[in-house]
Amino acid sequence: MTSILIDRYEAATRAGLQFDECRDVWSALGYKISPVFKDYLDIYRRQDIAKTVVDRLVGATWREMPLLIDTDNEEQESKFETAWKDIAEVHFLRDRFKRADKLACLGRYSAMLFGLANQADFNQPVAPGRSGPDGLLYVMPYHEDNAQIDKYEEDQTSPRYGWPTQYTLKTQLNRNESKKINNVTAHWTRVVHISRENLESDVFGTPLLECIYNLTFDMLKVVGGAAEAYWLLAKAPLQADLRSDARPLTPDEETALKDQIDELQHNMRRVLHSSGLDLKYLNSGTADPRGPFDVLIKLISAATGIPQRVLMGAEAGELASTQDSKNFAEQIIERQQSYGDVKIVRPTADLLIEAGILPEPANGDYEVRWGDLPGPNQAEEAEVMDKTASAVSKFAQSTNIITPGEVRAGYLGLPPENPDLTEPCTHDDDEVDEEQDDETEGDDEDTTPPDDEVDEDSGDDK
């Protein structure tokens, strides 16, 4: 453990060095060399963009509680599937998963402790049983500072070699000044260990905010500096000149004048009493922070993979584009499958099955099924349809191989209006020529009645 911390510190200190370590860029820019969990927690609580990065990813991942499926029967739930849904609802598992996920994003790992009925000794392994859903008492998430790893598996022949075998979990029992902390020693079978973006170690992951930690302070400089500049310069600086014919001020007068100027600059005083002074305001202007701000947002978006418009919500009254939404949805799906499934949901289900709280799944296996992510809204669908209609129109003008039925089914997602629309909307050249010939022959026919008919009509008239 100590060697890991030393290695991380040395790597961090080398990152900001240039010119054979003659220039320390990070120190010159005010960056912390080796931030720890408390530093990430502080900027999550106080830095708007840091909180948004974590909440966007975690919130989208756990938008719905995943289901566990152990049969192919879509019409009737199995006992295993029903028990999982009941436990998730009673113990608010989706909320617990979200909190544990956030804590894992803020640190190198987090942990969830499972309180089991009739198994009060946390230091002992989980005993197999058949307690049913009532056997689960609670689920408690812990961040890495409150989930200290005491022991590791040192047996090189064990499948869990290098993994924790014992934790000390610190639970704060009140929020008063005199905090009461309850320490619990827990066996690893009672804990779900969560870490993300693992590199060399399976135990310690990479904090989500680590790659943008410096950028969050750059953002603070830009936004906070612009706000401070506006505060100072919105009320233009005041210059006081002592006239050449004025008598020198006494020490008491200088003190009184200074106090008045301070009140004028920092408080609500609007009138200054002076004698022998010429006062004037200096022209000043504030820098526009939008350029540096946009650059930082682009860098944060690139580092986290969150599209800018998704990160900022609405930009200039526009929602995230369809492509942005698609890219973010693909990232969330990958995160659900490779992280949420493997690191959180399955370890939880396996622990509950081992303890007899969940029944054994049919055939001894189950599937983690995630809910569908939100699709495009009406405005985005209208934009897609407009572009599609324009493309189809241009395509149809240059070729006749596309049919109205294909347009309705393939591009607009509509059923055929009638079976005839599935046929190509083109005519055979020979058929067109025959139709034109028939029309011409019809026009050439003599419509004048025969002479006999004319004579008979004339006789009748007489």
Sign, Cα dihedral of 242, 243, 244, 245: negative
pLDDT computed for residue 462 by the predictor:
42
Contacts 24+ apart (CB under 8 A), 367-370: 367/68, 367/69, 367/70, 368/66, 368/67, 368/68, 368/69, 368/341, 369/66, 369/67, 369/68, 369/69, 370/64, 370/66, 370/333, 370/336, 370/337, 370/340, 370/341
Indicate the helix (H) or strand (E) that contains 194.
strand 191-194
- Rounded Cα distance, 122 and 116, in Å: 9
Phi/psi at 73 (5° precision): -80, 110
Average pLDDT over residues 8-37: 67
CB atoms within 10 A of CB 394: 9
Distances (CA, A) of 242 to 20, 248, 279, 342, 429: 54, 8, 9, 76, 101
Task: Read off the pLDDT of residues 240-293 as tens digits, 9 standing for 90 and up.
Answer: 676 777 777 788 877 887 887 777 666 666 666 666 667 676 666 667 888 989
pLDDT computed for residue 455 by the predictor:
53
Q: Are 394 and 112 in contact (CB under 8 A)?
A: no
Query: What is the pTM assigned to this prediction?
Result: 0.71
Q: pLDDT category, 316, cuts 50, 70, 90? A: very low
- Rounded Cα distance, 163 and 201, in Å: 9
Task: Read off the pLDDT of residues 379-401 as tens digits, 9 standing for 90 and up.
Answer: 656 666 677 777 767 766 665 66
CB atoms within 10 A of CB 355: 23
Lookup: tokens for 171 = 């639970």
- Rounded Cα distance, 290 and 17, in Å: 30
